[in-house]
Amino acid sequence: MLQQTQVSTVIPYFERFIERFSDVHSLAAANIDEVLFLWSGLGYYSRARNLHRTARRIVADFNGIFPDNSEALQTLPGIGRSTAGAIMAFAFNHRAAILDGNVKRVLARYFCINEPINLASTEKRLWELSEQCLPARKKDIGAYTQGMMDLGAMICTRNQPKCSLCPLKSSCLSLRANKQHELPVRQKQKVKPIRSSDFILIELQQRILLKQRPAKGVWGGLWCFPEQCELDELTPTPIFAIGPKWLEFRHTFSHFYLDCHIYQATFEHLISLPKGWTWYNREYPMAIGLPSPIKKTINQWLDAQLEFAQVAEFSGDYQGR
């Protein structure tokens, strides 16, 4: 959960998640919808899907026992070299290096590395430095690893590093050269591409029609408004009319922007739905994963409908008097 997300944001999600899934067996046995429901709002949903898949792999392939070597760990979904190193250090007290964003920044500044940090050659050098800096005693590895992460998160921050408070200030090469504000160097990122999707918001009796997204792709496995072409999956094909665009917004993903265009449509009556479709009732919400902007749009729409109904009722009462 802490990947790409701040501690203060994670804490309530973590507490709810651990309360429901207290061990790897309960997580492995869960339905992915429930996992995504408890993750809704954190973003980067592939993390939740990988966590669920990993739990199932550990139960099925490792008899429910977490592997204690880096090679085996890196065969599990979502676990790369740095995450494997963190697990080895914290869970098993093994001398294993990590290289998350905070540690990269600390090392790049401490050793005054002027090459762009996102080059493969620079990352290779940073891995070598990370391994060289490991404490000799295994019993110190957990405290050291946590210290490096905290140093980057709280002292050697991206902007305005607090060098006067840093325990490494006397030997930091970038501080000596007065280059701490220039490092780490990054190659200029490519401009994010813009994608566009047209979604259909269908409400009937205060219920919203939703469709589960494919496992891979945008909001994979989450529930969302259908796109127009997807309404053909419903049998019999419902009679509906698409109105004007009601809302549009841009959602930012890590590698692209998604321009969402929300069109209103109406059905004449409730229809039975195939698997992967549902009528979402806000008053009795199901334990399913909803992307934050979709949940926000649902609430925005239903609140507007209630307000309109209340105004209409008041206006009718007033005229009646």
CA distances from 149 to 47, 69, 136 (A): 20, 22, 18
Residue (of 116, 130, 103) closest to 183 by Cα position: 116
Which residues are bridge partners to 245 per DSSP? 263
CATH 3.90.79.10 placement within the chain: 195-320
Q: What is the pTM of this model?
A: 0.79
Q: What is the biggest distance separating any 2 CA atoms in the chain, rounded to whole angstroms?
A: 86
Residue (of 86, 126, 120, 87) closest to 104 by Cα position: 126
Which pLDDT does position 232 carry in this prediction? Answer: 82
The DSSP H or E segment spanning 24 is: helix 24-29
Which pLDDT does position 311 carry in this prediction? Answer: 62
CATH 1.10.1670.10 placement within the chain: 99-189
Q: Report mean pLDDT in 10-residue bins for the chain, 321 residues.
A: 88 96 96 94 92 97 94 95 96 95 96 95 97 95 96 95 96 97 89 94 89 92 92 75 90 93 82 88 90 94 78 56 43
Cα–Cα distance measured from residue 69 to residue 85, given in angstroms and rounded to the nearest whole number: 9
The distance from CA 158 to its chain's CA centroid, rounded to whole angstroms, is 21
Cα–Cα distance measured from residue 83 to residue 70, given in angstroms and rounded to the nearest whole number: 9
Buried b (16+ CB within 10 A) or exposed e, 156-189: beeeebebeebeeeeebebbeeeebeebbeeeee
Domain 99-189 top-level CATH class:
mainly alpha
Structural contact between residues 268 and 239, judged by C-beta atoms closer than 8 angstroms = yes
Cα–Cα distance measured from residue 154 to residue 156, given in angstroms and rounded to the nearest whole number: 6
* Architecture of the domain whose range is 195-320: Alpha-Beta Complex (3.90)
